[in-house]
Structure 1
Amino acid sequence: MMKLNWAILGPGTIAAEFAEAVNEMNGIIYAVGSRTLEKAEQFAKKYHVEKAYGDYEEMLQDEKIDVVYISTPHSNHYEYIIQSLENNKHVLCEKAITVNSKQLDEIVRLAEEKQLIVAEAMTIYHMPLFKQLREVVQSGKIGTLKMVTVSFGSCKENDASNRFFNKDLAGGALLDIGTYALSFTRFFLTSQPHEIITTVKEFETGVDEQSGIVLKNGDNEMAVITLTMRAKMPKLGVVAGDLGYITVENFPRAQKATITYLDGSQEKIEAGDTAKALHYEIEDMEKYIQNKSSKETLDLSLDVMDIMTEVRNKWGIVYPFE
């Protein structure tokens, strides 16, 4: 593991999990930043962090920081990534990495200009199982890829004040759980979809409560994605070819999958460890920094953001700050 000085921006629940992962890997969490110094100091004490800052801007000016992990709500990701890059820090940012394609395109341009690494902390891109499954698909083991289907439903409380439904915070299913479903989809498709058909049911606040998305690319591969924030559905991904199909249950951090062939026979595949999902993100980020490129996953993030932006355009849902 490279001895990089990590900084955590936004010490919430997922940041605590990330800090535990860095510590378990004998990494260095040099700094943590919060909107209040008290919260930063509490986090620093619990997770053995050297420096605590009660101001994000002040923390990002610390020249000892090599890489920043951003775990604030996605409505703030763009501004904090830009500030991090302007202060010459590499960035690993939670999903969804930005709110729209324009934001992400600008981030990529700035990162390239400053020769810095930006990557999305999307578990699907980093779990060993998915890397192995893509090799299975590319090998032709399930034949010619035809269809990807993904469902993801999370039954959030019917509360208009909840952040999940807050339009000012870029709420809605698409950018919260849909980013997982679309990342799964794009990970396996041979090329970027060019045809998008979609419909949406809005929540009372004007964000997307549930939707259906159909995609088709130039290789005649199709995908069907179903999302909802007010009903429970399995986190289920299926990758189908003309010789068989792969089923991945609880796919965001999966370690197991099943291949079912046309004759009904099955093959189990297991790789990685669900409990180490963030370890794999950290390992990959440090590899990107060492190799001076995050292209293998950043290109996927760009494609997924393009899809989500086009989907929202078709819905006519625009956030107030856009």
Structure 2
Amino acid sequence: MKDFNVGIIGTGLIASVMAETLNGLKDKNVKNYAVASRTLAKAEIFADKYGIEKAYGSYIELIQDKDIDLIYIAVPHSEHYRVAKLCIENKKNVLCEKPFTVNADETKDLLALAKENKVLITEAIWTRYMPSRKLINDVIASGIIGQVHSIQANLGYPLKDVKRMISPELAGGALLDVGVYTVNFALMVFGNDLKDIFAKAVMSDKGVDLTDSITLTWNDGKMAVLHASMMTPTDRSGFIYGEKGYICVTNINNPEAIKVYDIEHNLIKEVEIPKQVTGYEYEVLSSQKAINQNELECEEMPHKETIFVMEILDKIRNQWNMKYPFEK
């Protein structure tokens, strides 16, 4: 079977995790084939570290490599649209880190362009592809906690000293980096029939959100109360509350445990989560499968879902009057 060659654009922390992941997928014919940075020196250091065959000193050189099957984009949020567009224009399949773009207009433009060029593009929000997503929904569907009514979820890391997080020009802030996971967590459980969105934020002196409080309500009366922060670590837990008990998910960003409690708070069930390379492998394998089947999107994160999430993030930022300097 022919190797499935992946090229990585970017050499930061997330790119490093993807490189480790690809090296762990050799039995799937997935090859950690190429990496690009803005300087050749950085790309070569990264390539040496992870055993990558080719290193490029510009993004366009990697994009134009005819042997690449999929390009993984791991650059700052503000660059997602530009780099993904370059990939599409060169007929390259794209796995783009979350947030897919900075706003819904950019998202719709990219998706339309990808369809026109007949290439796959999908958002690398890993929680959408993980087996844990189905495991959680299977517990709910079993009826063990009864009718579900509400969700609480939080995600926070001490990131206030990370340049891309605090810079408006790089589309910084907690919402697009960590808040997006809390929103996706709620949507994966309750669906998209939203009624209202209410959000508040503590803003930095540069105009990006530091700590967020987001409340979503659904037309059937369900509610999610979400917290995100770039100032402090949080316990990263997600709770799904039903009339007969509740589910506790440890680390909504990469579920480590799924525990079910009854109405008296007794632990009554624990769901085993499959072992994984890093958790990034699921989005790569889904992309590989879709490409092999000539699909233009992945079933785990269809384009309509990516647009819907981005529209929610836009509405939240609008409530804060938060606009990035490069936005129209």
TM-score band, normalised by the shorter chain?
over 0.9
Does 2:265 match 1:264? yes
Does 2:286 match 1:280? no
Give 1:318's aligned residue. Answer: 323
Determine if contact 1:198/1:212 at 8 Å carries over to the other structure: yes
Gaps of 5+ in 1: none
Determine if contact 2:7/2:72 at 8 Å carries over to the other structure: yes
Structure 1 residue 97, shift from structure 2 partner: 1.5
Determine if contact 2:8/2:36 at 8 Å carries over to the other structure: yes
C-alpha distance in 2, partners of 1:193/1:240?
Answer: 18
| Structure 1, 90-99 or 270-279: larger mean CA deviation | 270-279
C-alpha distance in 2, partners of 1:2/1:138?
Answer: 40
Deviations 1:240-263 (A, max 9, x none): 222221111122111311111224
Aligned positions of 1:1-322 closer than 5 A: 3-26=3-26, 27-157=30-160, 159=161, 162-265=163-266, 266-273=268-275, 275-291=277-293, 292=295, 293-298=297-302, 299-322=304-327
- Structure 2 counterpart SS, 1:296: coil
State the identity as a percent: 36
C-alpha distance in 1, partners of 2:55/2:71?
Answer: 14
Which amino acid letter does the alignment assign opposite residue 118 of structure 2? Q
Deviations 1:116-150 (A, max 9, x none): 22222212112212221122223433222211111
- Structure 1 counterpart SS, 2:181: helix
Structure 1 residue 78, shift from structure 2 partner: 0.9
- Structure 2 counterpart SS, 1:134: helix
- Structure 2 counterpart SS, 1:233: coil
| Structure 1, 80-89 or 226-235: larger mean CA deviation | 226-235
Determine if contact 2:100/2:107 at 8 Å carries over to the other structure: yes
Deviations 1:41-73 (A, max 9, x none): 222222232222111112212222111001111
Which amino acid letter does the alignment assign opposite residue 301 of structure 2? T
Structure 1 residue 156, shift from structure 2 partner: 3.2
Deviations 1:220-257 (A, max 9, x none): 22111112222332101111222221111122111311
C-alpha distance in 2, partners of 1:23/1:275?
Answer: 9
Which amino acid letter does the alignment assign opposite residue 19 of structure 2? A
Deviations 1:268-319 (A, max 9, x none): 1111236531122222221222331314313433222111111001110000
C-alpha distance in 1, partners of 2:229/2:250?
Answer: 17
C-alpha distance in 2, partners of 1:295/1:302?
Answer: 14
Deviations 1:80-130 (A, max 9, x none): 111111111111111211111111111111222222222222121122122
Determine if contact 1:183/1:301 at 8 Å carries over to the other structure: no
Which amino acid letter does the alignment assign opposite residue 291 of structure 2? I
C-alpha distance in 2, partners of 1:296/1:278?
Answer: 13
Determine if contact 1:150/1:235 at 8 Å carries over to the other structure: yes
Determine if contact 2:21/2:277 at 8 Å carries over to the other structure: no
Calculate the TM-score normalised by the size of structure 1: 0.93
| Structure 1, 63-72 or 283-292: larger mean CA deviation | 283-292
Equivalent pairs counted in the alignment come to: 320
More helix by share: 1
